[in-house]
Chains A and B, each alone.
Chain A
């Protein structure tokens, strides 16, 4: 039996302050092969197509079923998760690059802590009285719950930010994922109590007004989260807040 080989071009970088370089690898083809399996194959025999032994490729992964967001990278020019990138559905040779808007740690592994800091800036949480047993939560209609659920599936993977022309490595733009979370918490009956704080945070520098409306965020979101809808919604909430501030503050 002859096995077909898959050719991969991987953009590598040894450390944050060193120059990137490309290496080519080949791995044996199998049915339903995904990019994670290819990278695991390279770990088992870390040598380039030319037969040069190299260090295994470094990348982030965990759940391998597209719910954790870890294995996000740029595959054939498109930012997405490596676990759901099936080799048979990709153009060959396959190119793998790290995400472009976040600091490189090593190879395909980038530092996305900016996203988590942004969640702190907009206070993406619900202020509860405490963990003690004080009874049921608020009664909610199922259709409202379903709308919030879609927003809460955001894995903080960063696809929307990597694709966004407005989000760059040297500005403060909060980006679509963060706006989506503001909408998620402002839509909760208890979360609403703190909506002003969240809106103030998105009205400042790097806030909602900086969105250039390129709409690519929604195209690359692996969870089909209605990001542009969230941006419009938060834009509207922020405008109302500005009017309120003018009238009452």
Chain B
């Protein structure tokens, strides 16, 4: 008898899903790859600037350990450190692999990989392919998976939507319920494990840098089935995007990595064209406030500064919610070679040429640091045991998550060019563990009672026919817009408890009105409306845990900024003082009066705040309600300390 082949279901054809599929196929497994649309159109294509790896090709003394430190510091120490460290140590091999796959990475004069600067680090660590790095990486993995599809190891189900995990009587995930978006058929597919590589939830905010498929519905569905959701409140607002009606289009951080400067006219309301404003009359507020990192401070910092300039100082360009991102001092040839992709986007959507006039930009919702809680097994030496089936497993046995859909790696704020890395890293890293998991099973999905699958299908057939019968007054697309506006207004860069409470009431109201939605289209063939209504339901649930997590977390950490709980770091504070203080505390002899005025008090505030809040927020859905609890964070490698970028 032929040996049974291991069989996996991977949901999502972005970088994480494709990397995982490739790795599983290499281990001779069969994979069913499910994607909402053609795999090659996944949201990873939108990533622009690059992917980080400390290859240190410029003699700057960079190393994976410095990359690790920058990443955990960038994330305000909220990330579990062994995973981050393992990712940073794997990064050089990942870049070399992608290079071998044919990614057209920009080259150095000698023909090696070229690297550029990015936010939150002082090293040139970001490999890039023009300004369409995500697209190029995705295509390379798409091609490898197409090779396995050609060889019969991959079955692609494009135009299919994941609805829910099939969970048996033992609480083990045995497959997935899918919706064929063309025929409207609802059916199940079995697997030794199911991987959710389903991306982020930017659509919860309506307009964002996210693609239209980024509803977070798949991950939220797992949460509604009982999977733990981590750090939902940590939403990254990217400092530089082009405002728009349908989307806020990203203008990559690489624009600043390649010398782009952020400024506003020193005189508020100055109506002169930007190039007629002399340098001395421009306020380069990031460069002035952060002399060390300048325009390349981490994203949370830059977004807060822009917000402050526009709303508190009323210095936005022409009195509007915009600041300049200026590349006009660089040569056309240089810009075309390094940033062509984003320059084209800006030109096509605004009609202005960024080589000639400064771009007008504003922050936009971009990325979710939070996501499905996933497990890991460290190897005891500050790295990960890659053979462990625990890696990337959600709190539902047999259901795994990867990429933006999981909550690991980025803590309270993600550094630029680390997301492409974490997506490919998780996809590859989890491969061996998935194989182990399949090996260790005492029962395979083929032997699970058919009723388990039938019940799951019937539940969803029933649900979709109920959705189709909804003939109320609310337009689902309008309601989605309203949800997005609610989140934008109340749960964005600056968070206040009164506004967060208000948001919860508004979300409740939206949920009530959701019951009165009208299914605009009740036909059977290729009808996206019922599916969207189901996704809207998920977005309502997700918006609630984002808001609830934000309300309950009474502190300022990373992207979660609550001015009322700002610990007010003294401007002359040096984070090393805190490291000294911690060490002295270990020896029980703290010479308190040796620290400058006010520093000791600040450090004590910082210490007690960490005791209370240096924890992962866990949202758990039970009896129709979210429950928030907290889990410790593994900070065993680098002790937490105050962040500082000036």
| A joins B in a complex | yes
Give the interface of A toward B (CB within 8 A). 14-15, 30, 32-34, 36-37, 40, 43-46, 55-56, 58, 60-70, 83-84, 86, 105-106, 109, 112-113, 116, 119-120, 123-128, 130-131, 133-142, 145-146, 148-149, 152-153, 155-156, 184-185, 188, 190-191
Residues of chain B contacted by A116 (CB below 8 angstroms): 38, 40, 146
- Evaluate whether A63 and B211 lie within 8 angstroms (CB atoms) in the complex, with A44-B475, A137-B100, A139-B111 already known: yes
Cα(A221)–Cα(B158), bound, Å: 25
Interface SS of A by simple majority = loop
Cα(A140)–Cα(B351), bound, Å: 35
Cα(A244)–Cα(B112), bound, Å: 34
Smallest beta-carbon distance A71→chain B, Å: 9
Q: Give a binary string over B519-539; 1 marks a CB under 8 Å from any A CB, 0 the rest.
A: 011010111110000000000
B211, A62: Cβ atoms closer than 8 Å = yes
Residues of chain B contacted by A185 (CB below 8 angstroms): 102
| 15 new A-B contacts at CB < 8 Å, known A58-B526, A67-B45 | A43-B475, A55-B523, A55-B529, A62-B212, A63-B43, A66-B344, A68-B42, A116-B40, A124-B143, A124-B146, A125-B102, A142-B108, A145-B107, A152-B102, A152-B129
Interface: B439 (CB within 8 A): no
Which of A135, A142, A191 has the most B CB atoms < 10 Å from its CB? A142
* Interface 9-residue window, one of B188-196, B240-248, B284-292, B540-548: B240-248
B45, A190: Cβ atoms closer than 8 Å = no
B41, A37: Cβ atoms closer than 8 Å = no
- Evaluate whether A126 and B111 lie within 8 angstroms (CB atoms) in the complex, with A137-B99, A152-B136 already known: no
Minimum CB distance partner of A18 in chain B:
B525
Interface: B174 (CB within 8 A): no
Residues of chain A contacted by B150 (CB below 8 angstroms): 120, 123
B182, A152: Cβ atoms closer than 8 Å = no
A-B contact pairs, 15 of them (CB 8 A): A14-B523, A15-B526, A34-B244, A36-B246, A40-B246, A62-B41, A66-B345, A66-B348, A68-B46, A106-B527, A138-B100, A140-B107, A155-B45, A156-B38, A185-B102
Residues of chain B contacted by A142 (CB below 8 angstroms): 106-109, 111, 114
Residues of chain B contacted by A131 (CB below 8 angstroms): 22-23, 26, 97, 428
Smallest beta-carbon distance A237→chain B, Å: 18
Interface: B354 (CB within 8 A): no
The 8 Å CB contact of A84, one of B112, B349, B477, is B349
Cα(A155)–Cα(B212), bound, Å: 17
Interface: B411 (CB within 8 A): no
The interface size of chain B toward A, counting residues with CB under 8 Å, comes to 74
Minimum CB distance partner of B55 in chain A:
A136
A126, B143: Cβ atoms closer than 8 Å = yes
- Evaluate whether A190 and B475 lie within 8 angstroms (CB atoms) in the complex, with A64-B212, A149-B130 already known: no
A62, B100: Cβ atoms closer than 8 Å = no
Residues of chain A contacted by B23 (CB below 8 angstroms): 131
Cα(A184)–Cα(B104), bound, Å: 10
Residues of chain B contacted by A148 (CB below 8 angstroms): 102, 104
A152, B520: Cβ atoms closer than 8 Å = no
B147, A125: Cβ atoms closer than 8 Å = yes
A63, B146: Cβ atoms closer than 8 Å = no
Which of B104, B349, B525, B528 has the most A CB atoms < 10 Å from its CB? B104
Interface: B28 (CB within 8 A): no
Residues of chain A contacted by B114 (CB below 8 angstroms): 142
Cα(A31)–Cα(B478), bound, Å: 20
Interface: B425 (CB within 8 A): no
Interface: B363 (CB within 8 A): no
Cα(A14)–Cα(B522), bound, Å: 12
A63, B41: Cβ atoms closer than 8 Å = yes
A37, B245: Cβ atoms closer than 8 Å = yes
Interface: B638 (CB within 8 A): no
Minimum CB distance partner of A136 in chain B:
B96
Cα(A182)–Cα(B609), bound, Å: 58
Residues of chain A contacted by B63 (CB below 8 angstroms): none
B45, A133: Cβ atoms closer than 8 Å = no
Cα(A66)–Cα(B109), bound, Å: 31
Cα(A149)–Cα(B358), bound, Å: 26
